[in-house]
Structure 1
Amino acid sequence: MQNKKIPLLLIATLVCGMTACQPPSADTDSTTSTDNTESSDTTSLTEAKTPRAMTSAIVELSEYSLREKLICSKLDDAISAVGNKSEIKDVTTVQHQISACLPAADNSQILQWLTDYQSMYDRFLQTTSSTDNAAFYTLMRTIERDESITVAQLKQVSPRVRYLVGLIRGKADISVRYLGGGDYEFHHNLIAMAELFSPYLPDDQSEFIERMAHDNQEIFWFDAAIAFAFEELVERTLFWEDFMKRHPHSIFYDDASDLFDTYRYLLFFGSDNTQWTDEEVRSFYNSNNERLMQRLSIRPNSQLAKDVQTFLDFMEQPDAERHKQYPTPDTDEQGHKINESNAAHYQLSKALAIPSPWASASDGTSRTTSDKNKDCMSGIVCVDKNTTTQTSQATAPQTTAQNINQ
């Protein structure tokens, strides 16, 4: 019996040394001391004053630690188990597990859980039925307009769609987004997702996912058009350029660089249904956009400012000078004919030398500017497009200059 008491006394001594605990004063009544001992059985380890209280605290602490370790060891399995047949209670259970495990997890584990959690939610919102039929479209449009849903409408769609619609009506963090072209999708609250992980990440990583959540909460493309204003496109481009300056060693630096390249490319070339200048790249359709670009061109220590200045100089170049400096072949690298309507964009692509984020690599595969086939326009972290379950935002429309550069 004596040997079993030694470890407990040793632990008590160490804890007292760390917490500066003091023995009862000499004038403390023995009866009062006994009462305090009995009432302190459930006290915390740092507050334990007696061997009995210390034993109780250690047991409770061990049970708590063991419980937490068991929960966290099963978290990966719990996330993987959630799919498009799961219920919202399964998602809530995972959320509770993540909340319990994040405080003690290391950075690599947190980032892995973040990525897996994002993929989990994408799986959860998938529907097995076709989403292009008239009944689905009518129901989604009704929800989007916040109109009353009829029983007849619900009967015409799959049980999974009905279940997700029920979650929306129950005010869950799920909504319906219209993507254009008669296409809808179920979507989750990215800002709430970022808020779950952000407190446990370094400043640069927290800033990254919070910005991604803000930008990707709404759609990026709409019927081959950029779904937000020119001013916002400029602001996003500036943000990612500044992010790289502030956090040159961030684990998300390459993703930030891809985003910067994507946004600045669109800033100059637009998309099929979004053009900022006329076909000859001589004048802006919106004078406010021109004034904004003029201000950008004098921004100090900025690659974007240099690109803008090159762009503005190109707009002023006479045709003869353009043709001399940037000779235009009859066809581009892919054999597509270059005509008058796209000759200026071809020349501009040579002047700026900004690779299209959707250009083809030498082996013919799609790539981004850093040769990473990633989707950064859907969630709070960039993911490999080959493993992305939602493709509506991952695939960009072909821009005029993109067709030329491919």
Structure 2
Amino acid sequence: MYEDYVKIRDKYTDCLNVSQTEILDKYIDYHTSEPGTEHLPENIKKIAAELDKVGLEFREMGEGLTEIHSLSGYYESIFKNKVTPDYGAYISQLAKDNKENYAVDGGLLITWEELGDRLIEWENFINKYPKSQLIKKAKDNYHNYLLDYLLGMDSDRIYNNEEGKIYDDKREAYNTLIKKYPNSAVAKKTKELITAYDAHLPVDQIEKKINLRR
């Protein structure tokens, strides 16, 4: 029921994003750094209120793009205590992940420490529910986060080529994760990455060394 519900709701949400293109294209013009919708035109306020009634919102995605999305905790509010434990844990983790935008223009919008914590959460899910019907989706989430965490992003590099070392903030985040979760698979991979970079191996060899490629 959950999977069918998500599929249908996503279909209708996609339709809304198409039908409301004119409003979505102009939404960035109403942007304000202050919370709330008090600076939105009245007609946009009314639409936002109607969307909120059904658990939807205008979400600014960055680079001038706005989309209509389900509120981060919407599915959890509908299905909490009504699904099997693995589905409950999965829905809850997605709600946490979707509270804020993840990245924009090749750069992370959450902290590197928060990304590490997400990885641990998905690793724990995979270890706890290895036979879940959701295991492939969970592994996909884990793998995508791991790629960003260990290989960096276009606007969030791991290694300072000029100085020949891992950026200080990244190393600090890595060391924090290793200390907090020393027995995790993420910590093991992170240690391999640090060792490879500290040995000044070429980037393509590092990806081969840690067995992780985009």
The TM-score normalised by the length of structure 2 is: 0.82
1:168 aligns with 2:52: no
- 1:103-146 C-alpha deviation (Å, 9 max, x unpaired): xxxxxxx134333343145235314334675x44313x159753
2:90 alignment counterpart: 208
CA RMSD of aligned residues (A): 2.7
Residues 165, 198 of structure 2: 8 Å contact kept = yes
1:346 aligns with 2:204: yes
Residues 226, 274 of structure 1: 8 Å contact kept = yes
Matched residue type, 1:289: A
1:199 aligns with 2:81: yes
Give the distance between the partners of 1:193 and 1:303, measured in 2 at CA.
29
> Does the C-alpha gap of structure 1 residues 349 and 198 become closer, same or farther in structure 2, counting only changes over 3 Å?
same
Structure 1 gap ranges (5+): 1-109, 155-161, 323-343, 357-406
Match of 1:283 among 166, 169, 175: 166
Give the distance between the partners of 1:284 and 1:214, measured in 2 at CA.
27
Give the distance between the partners of 2:33 and 2:148, measured in 1 at CA.
32
Q: Quote the offset at 1:212 in angstroms.
A: 0.7
1:149 alignment counterpart: 40
> Does the C-alpha gap of structure 1 residues 178 and 149 become closer, same or farther in structure 2, counting only changes over 3 Å?
closer
Find the structure with the greater CA-based Rg. 1
> Does the C-alpha gap of structure 1 residues 126 and 220 become closer, same or farther in structure 2, counting only changes over 3 Å?
same
Match of 1:178 among 49, 60, 66: 60
1:295 alignment counterpart: 179
- 1:277-324 C-alpha deviation (Å, 9 max, x unpaired): 32376233315324315426x722x3223211211211221x4xx3xx
Give the distance between the partners of 1:284 and 1:293, measured in 2 at CA.
16
2:213 alignment counterpart: 355
Structure 2 gap ranges (5+): none
1:7-406 correspondence runs (5 A)? 110-123=1-14, 125-128=16-19, 129-130=21-22, 133=25, 135-139=26-30, 141-142=31-32, 146-150=37-41, 162=44, 165-169=45-49, 171-172=52-53, 173-279=55-161, 282-286=165-169, 288-295=172-179, 299-300=182-183, 302-317=184-199, 319=200, 322=201, 344-356=202-214
> Does the C-alpha gap of structure 1 residues 235 and 112 become closer, same or farther in structure 2, counting only changes over 3 Å?
closer
> Does the C-alpha gap of structure 1 residues 127 and 275 become closer, same or farther in structure 2, counting only changes over 3 Å?
same
Give the distance between the partners of 2:40 and 2:77, measured in 1 at CA.
32
Give the distance between the partners of 1:346 and 1:150, measured in 2 at CA.
51
Q: Is the partner of 1:125 in helix, strand or coil?
A: helix
Matched residue type, 1:123: D
> Does the C-alpha gap of structure 1 residues 132 and 112 become closer, same or farther in structure 2, counting only changes over 3 Å?
closer
Give the distance between the partners of 1:193 and 1:293, measured in 2 at CA.
30
Number of residue pairs matched by the alignment: 208
Residues 132, 182 of structure 1: 8 Å contact kept = no
- The more displaced of 110-119 and 302-311 is 110-119
- 1:339-361 C-alpha deviation (Å, 9 max, x unpaired): xxxxx4322211111132xxxxx
Percent of aligned positions that are identical: 18
Residues 61, 104 of structure 2: 8 Å contact kept = yes
Give the distance between the partners of 1:204 and 1:150, measured in 2 at CA.
43
Give the distance between the partners of 2:86 and 2:24, measured in 1 at CA.
40
The TM-score normalised by the length of structure 1 is: 0.46
Matched residue type, 1:349: E
Residues 103, 109 of structure 2: 8 Å contact kept = yes
Give the distance between the partners of 1:118 and 1:213, measured in 2 at CA.
16
Give the distance between the partners of 2:40 and 2:188, measured in 1 at CA.
53
Give the distance between the partners of 1:131 and 1:271, measured in 2 at CA.
31
Give the distance between the partners of 1:253 and 1:228, measured in 2 at CA.
25
Bigger proportion of residues as strand: 2
Give the distance between the partners of 1:202 and 1:294, measured in 2 at CA.
32
Q: Is the partner of 2:160 in helix, strand or coil?
A: coil
> Does the C-alpha gap of structure 1 residues 167 and 306 become closer, same or farther in structure 2, counting only changes over 3 Å?
same
Q: Is the partner of 1:138 in helix, strand or coil?
A: helix
Q: Is the partner of 1:185 in helix, strand or coil?
A: strand
